[in-house]
Structure 1
Amino acid sequence: MPLDAPSYHAIAAMVITVAMFIGFVRGRLSVEIVSLLTIAVIGVGLYFFPLEGTQPTDGLVLAFAGFGHPALITICALMILGRGLVVTGALEPAARALEMVWKWNLQAGMLFSLVLAMGLSMVVNDTPVLVLLMPIFVALAQRGAMPASKTLIPLNAAVLIGGMATTIGTSTNLLVVAIAVDLGLPQMSVFHYTHIVLIAALVALPYMWLVMPRLLPDNTPEQTGAMRRFYSYLRVNPQSELDGLRLDEVASKLPDDFRFEGKPADALDAGSRHLVSGTHEGLEGAIRVLRGQVAPAWVIDQISDRSKARGEDIQAVEMVVTADSRIIGRTLATSGIADLYGVAVLGVHKPKRLLADDETVFRNDIRIAEGDVLLVMGIAEELENFASGDSLLQLEGGQEMPRRSKALLAGAIMAGSVALASVGLPFIGSEGFYLLKVPIAISALAGAIIMFVTGCVKFDRVGRALSGKVIVLVAASIAIGRIVLESGAAAWLGEGLSLGLQYLPAAGVLAAIMLFVTVLTNFASNATAATVGTPIAFAIAVELGLPPEPLVLAVLFGCNLCYATPIAYQTNMLIMAEGNYRFGDYVRTGVPLVLLMVATLSTLLAIAYGM
């Protein structure tokens, strides 16, 4: 039977989808502009040419529905949860543990991380797994591991492959299985097809591990201020891990960007003081690990107390000493900075011209000179008073110190949100004890609200957690998904597919179905692909006399092969801002992985089911 021509609305939907894809890939217009133009074209087009049986205003509702869609709310809430983990330092222990593997060998660290991501996402929903891992890898990049832009896309792919391996890995898997049961197939167990996915994962792992990072750019922003080395004196406390040890015994614990300027011959006894240098992050890491001090304990305690009393964050900023400053020629001990302003100077960066004679500069203490850059910690008001009172110029790029007192709380909030979405909320009812599954949108939103209420994330800092590019991209992808489905474009493509499959071998039929669903899921949504693809696959199986289960599994696998565009799945969008990715980065790395997985999975399905 010949294929009927598509409706005008279906043709328009396919044209808009292709045009949006071309706009993203060419990159001449920003993602935000292409996304907003797509929404505008859909809204205006459906207003003047509404879908059959709808009103003109219904088209506007369809076009702008993405801005209030649960998927967008979920992504924004997850960004806020991730921000809470970062600003409280809750993930630092996990980052340090992974850092040990990465420091031993970068390639071993990458492989271990990919396998870990796959394993976790087999039993926990994809999105919470990525939300937990993403800030850790951003922190690892800041500590000297691979740039985040080279690790996040492979990590996301590993999470998606792991989520495909069980029926509970993603909500899309559950949807496909539920539709298949309604069509007459038996219920699939949790690990019904896990062996097939694991074999395919072994085939894909070398590509994700060795090739993907090479195809991705280094999008690390230049931070010239962060590369300054600050000199300070490290005081050894009785509680410090340094007490009684030699330098060579603690060298392995020190960050790469921190060092002792002298070579102490004797043990680092309590009460001793040693000249050290490091970047801001290096000094902070060494102080935390070694429990030493680079500023008087009493001023640090005062700053912490004022921060808690006022509900303000502690900041670390860089200030340049100008020619009019009263502290020129003074040492940190004689400057009176802590007494006068209640701020702590953590270190002093010396221009190269002043480092020509280390003996003169550091004979007794660090003597401040014009042009020095001070790393100063304190509350915003006190920092401003210090800068204006002593004629210093505050540089851009100051950063907030982690609120470590709330680290455990932030971690507990994130763990609770993940548990609600993946395990469920325990209930005792008339039928006994059971677990009530909570949608990820609800658990993430509840977690974000608790982050605000408890002060883990400040209301005035929300803008730093959210990405406008991701928000409009999500809204545009939802609008595209709806118009593709409601215009009949998806159904027409499915009918056309079924007409040509009768001439293909079984593995070719499976590959064609998987590719068709993959295209849908990368440009519409997983739910759309599952809803459209599962009945089509069942009908094709009946028409061609093939067992329906492998064709349904081809749909399930295709729904999860969403690596090629950022709009395919919410985890793709979550990493977009952190990795500073362009649309083309997903296409360049994702298309080869899609083709590799389609070829492997279709072959394995044909073998497993004797086709």
Structure 2
Amino acid sequence: MSIPSFHAIAAMAVTIAMFVAFARGRMTTEIVSLLTIAVIAIGLYFFPLEGTGPTDGLALAFSGFGHYALITICALMIMGRGLVVTGALEPAARFLEKVFKINLQLGLLVSLLLAFFLSMIINDTPVLVLLLPIFVALAAKGALPASKTLIPLNAAVLIGGMATTIGTSTNLLVVSIAGDLGMPPMSVFHFTPIVLTAALVALPYLWLVMPRLLGDNRVAKDGGLRRFHSRLRIGENSPLIGQEISAIISKLPADLEFIDPPAGSLKPQQRLRISGTHEALEEAMRSLQGEAAPAWVLARIRRNSSSAKEDITVVEMAVTADSRLIRRTLPTSGIADLYGVAVLGIHRPRTIMGEERVDTPGTDIRIAEGDVLLVMGLQDDLQEFARSDSLLILDGARELPRRSKAVLAGAIMVGSVGTASIGLFPIAISALGGAILMFVTGCVKFDRVGRALSAKVIVLVAASIAVGRIILDSGAAAWLGETLSLGLQFLPPAMVLAMIMLFVTLLTNFASNATAATVGTPIAFNIAQQLGLPPEPLILAVLFGCNLCYATPIAYQTNMLIMAEGSYEFKDYIRTGVPLVLLMTTTLSILLVITYGM
């Protein structure tokens, strides 16, 4: 066996150093990625590869920032953001909540399937971001603890993301690098049947076994979510008109209360006194097709939002001792006339400064020091209201979804994925076109694009592409492939695939799956050449291995996203993730052997 060249040794040293830096976690992902790019650029400038000049090394180091895979990833992030901010995925979320009310186990099964299929065409992170608050809220209402559902849900999202070339950014990287190596292009659903079959094997483990391996990690929270008192006016077209309160209570959030509920059937324009969390009030307004503020001010807010092309925001504001609102009621406050904002509800602490707070039943609440107002409006109007009336804006402001654009955002995503899946356009072109349409139609706004794009992902992908190229161009990939092939040549094809998959899985669980993909793909390609095997199943073994990132919290960003909400420890990921990795590796290796006749 030949000795690796100086450049190959240096390339492997840089790669190992990057892996160690990621695993230790003392520096952020962005810093490690940028340092890696800098080391490659400076090293190749002073010590160019054979047959190249110093500036060629600079082009190699920074090539990732202009790579079409990175452009595609950013475009998909923008489209995913469009689905979230327009509320296009909310119907699925509401359906899921209703299923959980029927049966907890059935709800978990449906949730896993929903997460799996959504993540096939939508980036993993937006799917989990949408579903995460639903599961946390359900746990707070007495359903399955979040600690028993979030890791299985995350695993379902990751398996679904493995099923298509656009499911994750890692898949795109592997496919693009394989194309650079001379392999034919893969369509969006090229390897979906293999993953669907493996998912059928993994689903019972996710649904029935994994939750039992996780404890109830719920901790008592100080206080709770604020409950707001509001008056809801039933809309003229409400489907619940003519029904009694007792008949519709099951269709409303469990934490919504009716104060002095009226007798008889509901009538148009009838006002109901209700109490609930912010989310409960929103759900009540949606179900009853009613409004919690005067219709004229809500209409004005929406008109101003449309003309100014600015999102409507809902914030919580605390009443201070200097506020002019103290001892006034909402009807006498003149808030809507003066500032053009709408107060949706009032939260009244039971005590303040040790004094019990009691309101007279049947009357409007008189605002007092310490009350919290739930206020809707445009940012400038909200700031003017808070400044003029001595209110303190609290954390937790959120923008209302632009639901009028929900169908349009969904159509853009379906059109983009559809044209790529039938081969009408390359995925880079269809994704870029979809992102542009998201901007042009107002589903995503230019000034909010920073929320759609992740700087961490951008620099990580750029660094990963640079590392992959230096591993390949320096001869390190060829040398590693030759070395590994010496040990793999005596193994059956299924074991070769399994060993490659486990090797890449080990890297992706302790470093970056994107980096593992760019390093593992050329190595697998060279092993295929050394052993005389078809390259495609070995490339897919790398792709699958990069997605088997269940065993550590640092393996993927969604793993970290659920860690705090589930109160997870490192051992929780190992206990549940290692068996899943072994199960998926065995199943996928056998399926690849059968599919490709090896």
- TM-score, normalised to structure 1, is 0.80
Return the alpha-carbon distance in structure 1 between the equivalents of residues 372 and 118 of structure 2. 45
1:276 shift after superposition: 1.0
Return the alpha-carbon distance in structure 1 between the equivalents of residues 46 and 214 of structure 2. 43
The partner residue of 2:452 within 446, 462, 465 is 465
Return the alpha-carbon distance in structure 2 between the equivalents of residues 24 and 143 of structure 1. 33
Return the alpha-carbon distance in structure 1 between the equivalents of residues 65 and 226 of structure 2. 43
3-state SS in 2 of match to 1:241: coil
1:350 shift after superposition: 0.5
In structure 2, the partner of 1:379 is 378
1:170-206 C-alpha deviation (Å, 9 max, x unpaired): 7767997999999xxxx99999998765554333334
1:66-113 C-alpha deviation (Å, 9 max, x unpaired): 222222222222222122222222221122123323444454334334
Residues 1:203 and 2:201 aligned together: yes
Aligned residue identity for 2:435: A
3-state SS in 2 of match to 1:360: coil
1:348 shift after superposition: 0.4
Deviates more, 1:408-417 or 1:596-605: 596-605
Return the alpha-carbon distance in structure 2 between the equivalents of residues 194 and 444 of structure 1. 20
Contact 2:116–2:157 (Cα < 8 Å) also in 1: no
3-state SS in 1 of match to 2:465: helix
Query: Is the alpha carbon distance of 1:515 and 1:527 closer, same or farther for their aligned partners in structure 2, counting shifts above 3 Å?
Result: same
In structure 1, the partner of 2:274 is 276
Which structure 2 residues correspond to residues 544-563 of structure 1 after superposition, within 5 A?
A: 548=533, 553-563=537-547
Contact 2:164–2:191 (Cα < 8 Å) also in 1: no
Name stretches of at least 5 consecutive residues in structure 1 with no aligned partner: 425-435, 542-547, 567-571
1:520 shift after superposition: 8.3
Return the alpha-carbon distance in structure 1 between the equivalents of residues 190 and 419 of structure 2. 24
In structure 2, the partner of 1:397 is 396
In structure 2, the partner of 1:241 is 239
1:421 shift after superposition: 2.0
3-state SS in 1 of match to 2:325: coil
In structure 2, the partner of 1:348 is 346
Return the alpha-carbon distance in structure 1 between the equivalents of residues 180 and 325 of structure 2. 73
Query: Is the alpha carbon distance of 1:407 and 1:552 closer, same or farther for their aligned partners in structure 2, counting shifts above 3 Å?
Result: closer
Query: Is the alpha carbon distance of 1:520 and 1:177 closer, same or farther for their aligned partners in structure 2, counting shifts above 3 Å?
Result: farther
1:369 shift after superposition: 0.9
Residues 1:455 and 2:435 aligned together: no
Residues 1:137 and 2:121 aligned together: no
In structure 2, the partner of 1:492 is 479
3-state SS in 2 of match to 1:491: helix
In structure 2, the partner of 1:406 is 405
3-state SS in 2 of match to 1:393: strand
In structure 1, the partner of 2:582 is 595
Return the alpha-carbon distance in structure 2 between the equivalents of residues 192 and 341 of structure 1. 56
In structure 2, the partner of 1:544 is none
In structure 2, the partner of 1:232 is 230
1:357-379 C-alpha deviation (Å, 9 max, x unpaired): 78634431121111111111122
Return the alpha-carbon distance in structure 1 between the equivalents of residues 597 and 82 of structure 2. 51
Contact 2:484–2:527 (Cα < 8 Å) also in 1: no
Which structure 2 residues correspond to residues 328-367 of structure 1 after superposition, within 5 A?
A: 328-353=326-351, 360-367=359-366
Contact 1:20–1:34 (Cα < 8 Å) also in 2: yes
Residues 1:475 and 2:466 aligned together: no
Query: Is the alpha carbon distance of 1:469 and 1:47 closer, same or farther for their aligned partners in structure 2, counting shifts above 3 Å?
Result: same
The partner residue of 1:536 within 527, 535, 543 is 527
Contact 1:517–1:555 (Cα < 8 Å) also in 2: no
1:324-370 C-alpha deviation (Å, 9 max, x unpaired): 22221121122222222222110001112179878634431121111
In structure 2, the partner of 1:87 is 85
Return the alpha-carbon distance in structure 2 between the equivalents of residues 233 and 157 of structure 1. 43
3-state SS in 1 of match to 2:274: strand
Query: Is the alpha carbon distance of 1:387 and 1:130 closer, same or farther for their aligned partners in structure 2, counting shifts above 3 Å?
Result: closer
1:468-526 C-alpha deviation (Å, 9 max, x unpaired): 22222222211221121112121111111222234445643443354456678846465
1:157 shift after superposition: 2.5
1:208-262 C-alpha deviation (Å, 9 max, x unpaired): 4466678999999x99999211111122233223322222221222124432234
Return the alpha-carbon distance in structure 2 between the equivalents of residues 605 and 223 of structure 1. 48
Identity %: 57
3-state SS in 2 of match to 1:445: helix
Return the alpha-carbon distance in structure 2 between the equivalents of residues 239 and 606 of structure 1. 59
Residues 1:37 and 2:35 aligned together: yes
1:131 shift after superposition: 7.3
Which structure 2 residues correspond to residues 69-84 of structure 1 after superposition, within 5 A?
A: 69-84=67-82
Aligned residue identity for 1:349: H
Return the alpha-carbon distance in structure 2 between the equivalents of residues 73 and 552 of structure 1. 24
In structure 2, the partner of 1:300 is 298
Return the alpha-carbon distance in structure 2 between the equivalents of residues 404 and 192 of structure 1. 34
1:362-406 C-alpha deviation (Å, 9 max, x unpaired): 431121111111111122333233223322222343222222222
Return the alpha-carbon distance in structure 1 between the equivalents of residues 559 and 527 of structure 2. 33
3-state SS in 1 of match to 2:359: helix
Contact 1:565–1:587 (Cα < 8 Å) also in 2: no
Return the alpha-carbon distance in structure 1 between the equivalents of residues 494 and 345 of structure 2. 65
3-state SS in 2 of match to 1:374: strand
Return the alpha-carbon distance in structure 1 between the equivalents of residues 250 and 273 of structure 2. 18
Contact 1:563–1:593 (Cα < 8 Å) also in 2: no
Residues 1:368 and 2:362 aligned together: no
1:442 shift after superposition: 1.9
Return the alpha-carbon distance in structure 1 between the equivalents of residues 440 and 113 of structure 2. 36
1:592 shift after superposition: 4.9
3-state SS in 1 of match to 2:65: helix
Contact 2:164–2:192 (Cα < 8 Å) also in 1: no
In structure 2, the partner of 1:162 is 163
Query: Is the alpha carbon distance of 1:33 and 1:594 closer, same or farther for their aligned partners in structure 2, counting shifts above 3 Å?
Result: same
Return the alpha-carbon distance in structure 2 between the equivalents of residues 373 and 475 of structure 1. 46
Deviates more, 1:206-215 or 1:29-38: 206-215
Aligned residue identity for 1:485: L
Report the number of matched residues: 573
3-state SS in 1 of match to 2:272: strand
Query: Is the alpha carbon distance of 1:20 and 1:212 closer, same or farther for their aligned partners in structure 2, counting shifts above 3 Å?
Result: farther
Contact 2:164–2:171 (Cα < 8 Å) also in 1: yes
1:298 shift after superposition: 1.4
Contact 2:69–2:176 (Cα < 8 Å) also in 1: no
Return the alpha-carbon distance in structure 1 between the equivalents of residues 254 and 526 of structure 2. 57
Return the alpha-carbon distance in structure 1 between the equivalents of residues 408 and 278 of structure 2. 26
Aligned residue identity for 1:369: A
